[in-house]
Amino acid sequence: MDAPISPDVLGTPTGIADPYPAYRAFRGPSPVRYLRLPAGPMTGRTEPLYAWGLLRHADVLAAIRDPETFSSQSTSVFKTMPKMSLLHDDPPHHTRMRRLVSKAFSPQRIASLSEWIGRTANELLDTAGTKGPVELMATYAVPLPMRVIAGMLGVPASDYPSFKLWSEAVIAYVGIPAEERARRTQEMMVYLTQIIAARRAQPAEDLISALVATEVDGASLTDAEIRGFAAVLLIAGNETTTNLIGNMMALLADRPELWQRARENRSLVEPIIEEVLRYESPVQRFPRITTRPVRIGEAEIAAGEVVDIVYGAANRDPAVFEDPDSFRPERPTNNQHLGFGLGTHFCLGAPLARLEARITLNTFLDRFPTLGRGEGPAVRQQAAPVSLGYKSLPLVLGG
């Protein structure tokens, strides 16, 4: 039995590190109103910001299927967030953008990266040492997606440390003062502007050059649109995949029997990844702004309110997933998870994230007969409400 809690815990470090007790407590009365951002120097707000959290699978589905009522233009409220292409757009502009960038980000293009990503995964593990204790986040889970996105965008490896600082600053609402966040975000935008100008002058074999050259029905992308898209890739493509890898390896480190079975039977690799996306969804929630008054369950929600689509809660809804709080890769319904969203804003990077997770799991299974927890605590990140993941994850790679 969970102790009585307030829904406001969802906006605090405790609720960011482990939101599940609050989801269980408030799925009944969902949608639930909670304090999303307090006023003060961390958030840069003079007034506290309240939001509605949608915790049921059915409510989440209905909202994401109705972008006219639930607008993605949340930067009108979250003013320190840079406007990112697609994520913060609504149709019809979103539809045009998505067609343009999908061309440069096609499944074929992603599949062709497989060999290179596999090499990168092995290089990281070679550098970390063959076997023994590792801190997984710093040695592998952070650098792999970072190298992949940076390589795709065509930006130099020496700039990777800045990317991490920038993406943290954009998504963190706890721990980094608002002015520092704004400064780092501005730095990222200046950096991207310079890269785009360089590729316009001299195209290369990379995604930014492809975006510069992309045309659909005679329309091409403006610098601001390319910058917004590069920013979304740097941020959406990094933090999320890092957390998928970390959450997956922690769950497996606690399940030696599953590790053995997966080593022998690789058809388990995909169901394991899908179940991690459901059970510990790397993207927990994403905001929408209501464009008109709307009633959901017992709640009358006015126009202009923040509504959080709580993917992490929908993915544990007992109405859809039997025994939702247990990790069962072989469950028949795990393909109904909403870990990548659905509909208009369905994750553009899902094929890439799945590819990186598959390569990671197969590479670790190939190289390490056993996997266990290491010394020292595994520490959850507590700064970014959007994400569920580890800051530090000590493991032992055995053989």
Q: How far apart (Å, rounded) are the C-alpha atoms in residues 83 and 105?
A: 20
Tokens of 96: 């045009």
The answer to whether residue 279 forms part of the interface with ligand HEM (CB under 6 A) is no
CA dihedral 170, 188, 146, 154 (to 10 degrees): 150
What distance, in Å, lies between the first and last C-alpha atoms of the chain?
A: 40
- For residues 109-148, which are near ligand HEM according to CB under 6 A? none
| Part in contact with ligand HEM (CB under 6 A); list of ranges 161-169, 185-193, 197-205, 347-355 | 347-355
Closer by beta carbon to ligand HEM, 352 or else 395: 352
> Binders of ligand HEM: how many residues, by CB under 6 A?
26
- Contact call for residue 167 and ligand HEM (CB under 6 A): no
Sequence-distant (6+) residues with CB within 8 A of 393 are: 135, 136, 137, 141, 246, 249, 250, 378, 379
Task: Kindly tell me which residue out of 7, 282, 329, 394 binds ligand HEM, with binding defined by CB under 6 A.
Answer: 282
Nearest approach in angstroms of CB 326 to ligand HEM is 20
Provide the H-helix boundaries in the chain.
13-17, 20-26, 57-64, 93-104, 107-111, 114-128, 136, 143-153, 160-171, 178-201, 207-213, 223-236, 239-253, 256-264, 269-279, 311-314, 350-367
Question: What's the alpha-carbon Rg for the chain, to the nearest Å?
Answer: 21
Residue closer to ligand HEM, measured from CB, 241 or 334: 241
**Residue 207 interacting with ligand HEM (CB under 6 A):** no
> Closest separation between CB of residue 343 and ligand HEM, Å?
8
> According to the binding rule CB under 6 A, does residue 388 interact with ligand HEM?
no
List the x/- string, 218-237, binding to ligand HEM by CB under 6 A: --------------xx--xx
Residue in 82, 312, 339, 394 binding ligand HEM, rule: CB under 6 A: 339
Site for ligand HEM in 354-373 (CB under 6 A): none
Residue in the shown chain whose Cβ atom is closest to ligand HEM: 349
Give me the residue label for tokens 């927890």.
Answer: 373
CA atoms within 13 A of residue 80's CA, in its CB half-sphere: 22
Does 307 contact ligand HEM by CB under 6 A? no
Q: Which residues bind ligand HEM (CB under 6 A)?
A: 72, 86-87, 98, 149, 232-233, 236-237, 240-241, 244, 282-283, 286, 309, 311, 339-341, 345, 347-349, 352-353
